[in-house]
Structure 1
Amino acid sequence: MRARARRFWLIVIAGVILVGAVGLTLTALSSQVQLFYTPKDLVAQGGAVPGERARIGGLVQMGSVRTLEDGALRFVVEDAEGEIAVAYDGFIPDLFREGQGVVANGVFTDAYTFEADELLAKHDENYIPREIQETLQEQGVYRGEEPTS
């Protein structure tokens, strides 16, 4: 009976350690999770919770980009069904422009206003950096569109 009791307690202790490890892992992962929203998602759920950390994505609305005197950037991210106002103060990616795809990480300040702390510009599969386009054109190899600013 002694060996059987020892084996029982060993299994119980191993189970407790396993449950504890899984619990710690899930806790650590849940603090790192960021929800991704499009403007359409926010319209469908009636807005975001202020203070919620998230990632948003969509197209930069034409005519919405404003640079303030202090260098901060204000613009609107849109899709077919909604808009999110974005405030950003930081490095602006070279590919950032109106009508272009963008992904921003940050915090909602109210239901449809977002304070971004990271900005990522998206491009399609045909993107070639401007400097490489110009070099290839000088060599007579590149026959695509003219470089854009």
Structure 2
Amino acid sequence: MDGKSIQSTGARHFLVEPLRSTTAVIKFSGTLGSRVATDGLSGTINAFAHYAAQWFAASRVFCDLQGSFHKSAIETAFILFDPMTHSINGDSGPGDHGVDGLQAFIKAHKCSQHCKRLALESKARLRSSAKATAEGDGLDWPEDD
């Protein structure tokens, strides 16, 4: 686009997903909290969110995770859709609650057996990483409860 922003060109862009084969949606987390469940799928999605938080040194986390099963002639797959993120600077998109969202994720997260089997960092370590990044960027990190 030769350096012009979408706004200046008047161009409109859309992201479209294929029609889902079902309306049955399983919700794993909300914008500022997570659902505590003990089934295998919930534990896997929970561990994915934890792994991603660790990967980003807790400067970005996935939230509002939901998905549904889709069957084809070949396989059945579980597809996550419409995720949100919280980031240190609060600039990852609509619904990003910045530092407050990061802190809410870390506080609400309950490690599943998958988190433990993957030897993911403790919540204290995630909190420490996020706090160091926030303070390094000149942002306040709220005191822990």
Instruction: Classify the TM-score, shorter chain.
Output: under 0.3
TM-score of the pair, normalised by structure 2:
0.22
TM-score of the pair, normalised by structure 1:
0.22
More strand by share: 1
The structure, 1 or 2, with the larger RCO (C-alpha pairs under 8 Å, 6+ apart) is 2
